[in-house]
Amino acid sequence: MTPSRQTAAAVLRRSRQRDGFAPELIDDASAGLSPQDRRFVVQLVMGVIRRKATLDALVAPFLTRPFADLHPDTLDLLRLGVFQLVFLTQVPRHSAVDETVELAPPVVKKFVNAILRKVSDAVTDESVGEMGPAAVPVNDGFRRLARPLLPDPRRDLAVYLSAAFSWPGWLADRWLHRHGPDECVRLGFWFNAPPPLWIRVNTTKLTRVEYLKKLFAANIPAEPGEHPQAVKLTDGARIPDLPGFAAGEFAVQDHSSMLVASALAPRPGWQVLDLCSAPGGKTTHLAELMHHSGRIVACDIVAKRLDSVADLCRRMGVRIVHPQLLADGIDAPAGPFDAALVDVPCSNTGVLGRRPEVRWRLQPNEFEHLIRLQKSLLTTALSRVKPGGVVVYSTCSIDPDENGGVVRAVLNEVKGVTLEGEHTAIPGRPSDGGYWARLRK
Q: Strand pairing of 271-274 and 337-343?
A: parallel
The reported pLDDT for the residue numbered 31 is 83
pLDDT, tens only, 225-251 = 999 999 999 876 778 889 999 999 999
Same fold across 1-124 and 258-440: no
Please list, in sequence order, all residues whose beta carbon lies within 8 angstroms of the beta carbon of residue 397, skipping any fewer than 6 positions away.
346, 347, 348, 349, 350, 403, 433, 434, 435
More confident residue, 84 or 335: 84
List, for residues 132-190, the tens digit of each pLDDT value: 999 999 987 999 999 999 999 999 999 999 999 999 999 999 999 999 999 999 999 99
Per-residue exposure over 406-416, b if at least 16 CB sit within 10 Å of its own CB, e if not: bbebbbeeeee
- The chain-wide mean pLDDT, for the chain, equals 95
Cβ atoms of residues 9 and 103 within 8 Å: yes
Average pLDDT over residues 324-352: 93
CATH of 1-124, one of 2.60.40.10, 3.40.50.720, 1.10.940.10, 2.60.120.890: 1.10.940.10
CA 215/CA 203 separation, integer angstroms: 15
pLDDT tens-digit series, residues 348-387: 999 999 999 999 999 999 999 999 999 999 999 999 999 9
- φ and ψ at residue 33, rounded to 5 degrees: -85, 155
**CA–CA distance, 369 with 138 (Å, rounded to integer):** 35
Alpha-carbon span 282 to 258, nearest angstrom: 7
- Measured N-to-C along each axis, helices 22-29 and 35-50 cross at an angle, to the nearest 10 degrees, of 150
Measured CA to CA, the distance from residue 134 to residue 128 in angstroms comes to: 9
- Residue 339's nearest CA partner among 309, 384, 307, 293 is 384
Note the pLDDT tens digit of each residue in 102-130: 999 999 999 999 999 999 999 999 999 99
pLDDT at 329: 67
pLDDT at 234: 83
Alpha-carbon span 10 to 44, nearest angstrom:
11
Mean pLDDT of 387-408: 98
**Band (35; pLDDT cuts 50, 70, 90):** confident
How are beta strands 250-252 and 230-233 bridged, if at all? unpaired
Least Cα distance to 249 among 215, 296, 295 occurs for 215
C-beta atoms surrounding 219 within 10 Å? 7
- Residue from 276, 299, 346, 396 carrying the catalytic annotation: 396
In the chain, pLDDT over 70 holds for what percent of residues? 99
pLDDT score recorded for residue 1: 65
C-alpha to C-alpha distance for 120 and 59, rounded to whole angstroms: 11
pLDDT tens across 261-274, in order? 999 999 999 999 99
CA distances, 180 to each of 51, 157, 209, 232 (Å): 21, 11, 41, 30
Distance, CA of 350 to CA of 236 (rounded, Å)? 21
As a CATH number, domain 258-440 is 3.40.50.150
CB atoms within 10 A of CB 153: 20
| pLDDT over 80 at 330, yes or no | no
Task: Let me know if 396 is a catalytic residue.
Answer: yes
Judge residue 106's burial from the number of C-beta atoms within 10 Å of its C-beta, 0-12 exposed, 13-18 middle, 19 or more buried. Answer: exposed
Q: Rounded distance, CA 311 to CA 290, Å?
A: 19
Domain boundaries defined on the chain: 1-124, 258-440
From residue 424, alpha-carbon distances to 108, 331, 408 in Å are 49, 29, 15
First to last CA, the chain: 62
Quickly count: other Cβ atoms within 10 Å of residue 60's Cβ: 12
Q: What's the pTM value of the predicted model, to 2 decimals?
A: 0.94
Distance CA 425, CA 434 (A): 5
Nearest-CA neighbor of 341 among 307, 296, 311, 291?
Answer: 296
Q: What is the DSSP string of 39-74?
A: HHHHHHHHHHHHTHHHHHHHHGGG-SS-GGGS-HHH
- Pick the closest to residue 260 from 369, 350, 358, 375 (CA basis): 350
pLDDT at 73: 96
According to the model, what pLDDT value does residue 344 have? 98
Give tens-digit pLDDT for 68-85: 999 999 999 999 999 999
Q: Dihedral angle at the C-alpha atoms of 430, 434, 438, 439, nearest 10 degrees?
A: 160
DSSP for 68-124? GGS-HHHHHHHHHHHHHHHH-TTS-HHHHHHHHHHHS-GGGHHHHHHHHHHHHHHEE
Whether residue 300 contacts residue 309, with contact meaning beta carbons closer than 8 Å, is answered with yes
Closest CA to 274 of 351, 329, 347, 353: 329
Cβ(157)–Cβ(170) below 8 Å = no
